[in-house]
Amino acid sequence: MRKPLIAGNWKMNGDMKTSYKLITELKEGILNSDVETLICCPFTLINEVSTLIKGSNIKLGAQNMHWENKGAYTGEISADMLKELDVEYVILGHSERREIFLETDSIVNKKVLKALEKNIKPILCVGETLEEREKKQTKDKIKEQVLRALENVDENEIINVVIAYEPIWAIGTGKTATPVEANEVVGFIREILENKYGVDISEEIRILYGGSVKPENATEILNKQDIDGALVGGASLKANDFISIINF
Ligand code: PGA
């Protein structure tokens, strides 16, 4: 049985004051939830958020990391640095990293391998552009992204990977894939995993949907059979919205 995971991706938002308010309200609002709740905040807030979530069932994630252990990589953060702050998850291959910072599948693969080596669970993001969807290339794109990112990830390690299907045209745009569309692609990702790792392992891996998830559409999306949770951007910055998504 896969436990639902709702992850908030704060992106480049938030400060000490807003974090305190948000986390305090969140802790109160999800007291009775069985859902695994995760906050992926900016690096500068990890320490603060780590302290604020102590004693709660909220987990801590980062939004990126470098694939090398250490060295002359100005501006980068290593897996060990995240581990030191009790970070359990890291978002990798987000479409904003791929599009704005030109991260390739091969870079994403190196990061996934390093995160797994260091016992940080990667949330691997994949998704097609609007143009690719319109040209009916969604499945080809998703298959390539998933397989390239998971090169050399073995059967023991894949269990610790979470995959997030985030159609690029749905991120921050207010447009959501319909629950049926989202479920179809998520189901397709499970098929890819089944072919690579076998049915038993593929049934254990959580696959999330992300892209304009909000209280109004969360219930329908999250009740779809193949969708095991959500990666939530904008709505995770508003305590009430995030709480109602978690309590879907
Ligand atoms: P959004 O972002 O919910 O604001 O669309 C999702 C994401 O980028 O992870």
Residue 47, judged by CB atoms within 10 A of its CB (0-12, 13-18, 19+), counts as middle
pLDDT value of position 177: 84
Instruction: Give 39's strand partners.
Output: 8, 60
Instruction: Answer whether 176 contacts ligand 1 (Cβ < 6 A).
Output: no
Token digits for 229? 């949770």
Count of structural domains within the chain = 1
Q: Which of 137, 210, 206, 131 is nearest to 177 (CA)?
A: 210
Nearest C-alpha to atom 7 of ligand 1 is from which residue? Answer: 233
Q: Which of 120, 74, 112 is nearest to 94 (CA)?
A: 112
Nearest C-alpha to atom 1 of ligand 1 is from which residue? Answer: 233
| Phi, psi dihedral angles at 68 (to 5 degrees) | -90, 160
The residue to which tokens 């309200």 are assigned: 25
Tell me the CATH number at 72: 3.20.20.70
For residue 224, the SS3 value is coil
Ligand 1 pocket test: which of 213, 221, 246 has the largest number of ligand atoms within 8 Å of its C-beta? 213
Instruction: Answer whether 172 contacts ligand 1 (Cβ < 6 A).
Output: yes
CA distances from 176 to 78, 173, 180 (A): 33, 8, 11
Instruction: Answer whether 210 contacts ligand 1 (Cβ < 6 A).
Output: yes
**What is the span of the domain harbouring residue 214?**
5-246
pLDDT value of position 172: 82
Instruction: Answer whether 212 contacts ligand 1 (Cβ < 6 A).
Output: yes
pLDDT value of position 30: 94
Give the containing element (helix H, strand E) for 132. Answer: helix 130-134
- Is residue 6 a contact partner of residue 229, using CB atoms and an 8 Å limit? yes
**Bridging pattern class, strands 162-165 and 5-9:** unpaired
Active site residue 66: no
Mean pLDDT for each consecutive 10-residue tract of the chain (248 residues)? Answer: 96 97 96 94 97 95 98 98 97 97 98 98 97 95 98 97 95 86 96 98 97 96 96 98 97
